[in-house]
Amino acid sequence: MPTIQALLSNTELPDSPSARLDVELLLAHVLGKSRSYLHTWADKALSDEQLEQFAAAIKRRQAGEPVAYILGQQGFWSLELEVAPHTLIPRPDTELLVETALQLIAATPASVLDLGTGTGAIALALASERPAWRVSGVDRVPQAIELAERNRSRLKLGNAQFLLSHWFDAISDQRYQMIVSNPPYIAAGDQHLSQGDVRFEPNSALVAGDDGLDDIRLIIEQAPHHLNAQGWLLLEHGYDQAAAVCALLSERGFNQVESRRDLGGHQRISIGRFDHE
C-alpha cells in the first residue's frame, strides 16, 4: 500500500500555485491528522478507504475546486471557520480590515455592523477580540446566515449575532460606532472571474456593476444614516480602487479618509469617519 511519503512525492497538481501545500492539507484531512504528522509518520501506509478519499479530493483539486471548499473549512485571524460554496472563502488580505477596526475604537462597549458577512469571518474575528463589543453581521443569502450562525455557535461567541438583510434593508433606524464590509467589488466581465479559485465562488459575492463599485456606492451613501456621531466606515476594495473609494467617501461628507495597504503592498481598504448626518 502507498505510504504517506510516496503520496507526497508522487501526487501532482500542475495547475496549482501551492501544489505541495494543497497535497499536504488534503492528505492530513483524510487522515484526520495535522500536517506535522505527515512528516513524523511518513512511512505509514494508508487504508483502501483513505486512499479512495484522498484520490477523490485530489481529483476535485485538479479540476480547480478550492482546497477550502474540499476541506469545508478555512483559517481566518485566529479562528477556524466552516466554509461552503455559497459564500466567499475568507482571505488573509481581509485580516487588514479586522486589524484596522481593532485600532480605531477602544475595547469598551461598542456596537459594530458587518455588511455582507458571508461565513461571519470579520464579525466573529472582531467579537473574539473584543468581548465588550456587540457585533452584528448581515447577509442577503439565507444559507450564509445559517453558516455564520453555525460558526458563531461552535466558537461560543455570545457577543455576535447574524441577521438576514440585503445591506441595510432590515436594519431600520439602528446606529453603530463602526460599520465594516468586504462587499462585491469586481467589475462585470473582469478576466479574473474565469481564473483560479474565483471560478467556484458565488458571482453575487464578487461582481458589482460595470466598474465594480455599485455596492460600495450604495454602502457609502446609506452608512451615515446608521452611524453614531464620529462613527467609522471601513471598506475592503480592489487593489486599484482606493482613489475612487476615497473620493466617494469624501463626497459623502466623511472625514479622516485614508487607505491602508495589505500584505502585498496594495491599498486594500479605505476608511472614513462621519461626524454627523
Binned at pLDDT 50, 70 and 90, residue 248 comes out as very high
Please give the pLDDT value at position 194: 53
CA distance 80 to 87: 15
Q: Which residues face 81 on adjacent strands?
A: 74
Domain with CATH 1.10.8.10 in the chain: 4-64
According to CATH, the superfamily of the domain at 81-274 is Vaccinia Virus protein VP39 (3.40.50.150)
pTM of the model as a whole: 0.88
199 vs 34 pLDDT, higher one: 34
Question: Over 80: is that where the pLDDT of 253 sits?
Answer: yes
Tens of pLDDT, residues 113-163: 999 999 999 999 999 999 999 999 999 999 999 999 999 999 999 999 999
Single-letter amino acid code for the residue at 139:
D
Say which CATH class 4-64 falls into.
Answer: mainly alpha
CB atoms within 10 A of CB 209: 15
CA distance 100 to 97: 5
Please give the pLDDT value at position 193: 53
Tens of pLDDT, residues 186-229: 666 656 555 566 655 555 655 556 677 889 999 999 999 999 99
Domain with CATH 3.40.50.150 in the chain: 81-274
